[in-house]
Amino acid sequence: MQQVFCDWGTSSLRGYLLDDSKIIQKYSSDLGLLKAQKIGYEKVLDSVLDSFQCEHDIPIYFSGMIGSKQGWAEAPYVPTPVGIEQMKGKTIKPAKNIHIIGGVSHLDGSGNYDVMRGEEVQVFGVLEQEPATSLICLPGSHSKWVKIEAGQIKIFATWMTGELFKALSENTIFSTQLESKEFNHEAFIQGVGFAREHHDLGSSLFKLRIEYLFERSDKHHFYSYLSGFLIASEIREAIGVAKKVSLCGSDSLMNSYALALEVFGVESKQFPSETATIRGIEKICGENNE
């Protein structure tokens, strides 16, 4: 049986045509929410289905920001703790053959919320591949760290590391000391080390400027140095006492996080986000299939 799965986020749209759980075609574009809402969600979906040359009434499953208030239709947040069963009940159907998976919310002890949309599907996809996982990190613009207990999402928190990296490297004094975006292993590790030995992001940040002024870092390698610093600042705050993490994201980000985690003496295993998304949607929507 054929199905379409889509990970539809804020800035990108990834679609997969599956036949009996096997990917037979892929679609990828920058028609995320920001662009798609101007064109019209139905129209964008039509172009995906056209590219697959499949029937338009095929079962379609969405995860991600497409289920937010600004998306196609709002799929409610499911509060933690969340397992597969809780997720199943919260899928909404804005059209007969379309299913949108809900997000997950977490209320911490201080009365503050955190939320995710799309990552929860990947979390269940990782758990399907590695049921014993107790900590999952999903690096990105808004990195998520997720604690798992008995197959359920128990606690999670978000770091704006990817966005912070972009804003700092492009729109602050750091942009003047940045010549190349090529990855440099040594500079990255040096940045990780710097974040480990200093214990507040705010007070450490300007020291990166000084390192440059005193020629301890240079224009060619500063991009990697800053990346290492910010990723390690996130890890330092998030890792707690854990000694093992499952990573789920793009290959390049997972490699960077794995390198930094190694410096912290933490073991990691990588789960590419594509497979995690597909396995997660299957797991959540498996028995809903039409």
Residues lying near a second copy in the complex (CB under 8 A) are found at 110, 112-115, 142, 157-161, 163-164, 166-168, 170-173, 197-198, 200-203, 205-207, 209-211, 213-214, 233-234, 237-238
Nearest approach in angstroms of CB 113 to a second copy is 5
3-state secondary structure 57-111: CCCEEEECHHHCCCCCCCCCCEECCECHHHHHCCCEEEECCEEECCCEEEECCCC
Cβ proximity to a second copy: between 113 and 220 the closer is: 113
Cβ proximity to a second copy: between 161 and 184 the closer is: 161
Beta-carbon neighbour count of residue 219 at 10 Å? Answer: 12
Cβ proximity to a second copy: between 122 and 169 the closer is: 169
Cβ proximity to a second copy: between 130 and 163 the closer is: 163
Nearest approach in angstroms of CB 139 to a second copy is 13
What is the rounded CA–CA span in Å between residue 108 and residue 234? 19
Instruction: Find tokens 């199905």 and name the residue.
Output: 3
Q: With contact defined as beta carbons under 8 Å apart, do 211 and 95 qualify?
A: no
What is the rounded CA–CA span in Å between residue 276 and residue 281? 9
Which residues in 181-194 are b (16+ Cβ under 10 Å) and which e?
Answer: eeebeebbbbbbeb
Cβ proximity to a second copy: between 25 and 141 the closer is: 141
Nearest approach in angstroms of CB 165 to a second copy is 11
What is the rounded CA–CA span in Å between residue 197 and residue 210? 16
CA angle centred on 273, ends 169 and 86, rounded to 5°? 115
Backbone angles phi, psi at 280, to 5 degrees: -70, -45
Nearest approach in angstroms of CB 138 to a second copy is 13
Nearest approach in angstroms of CB 105 to a second copy is 9
Nearest approach in angstroms of CB 46 to a second copy is 27
Cβ proximity to a second copy: between 196 and 283 the closer is: 196
Nearest approach in angstroms of CB 273 to a second copy is 19
Q: 252 has which bridge partners?
A: none
Cβ proximity to a second copy: between 58 and 164 the closer is: 164
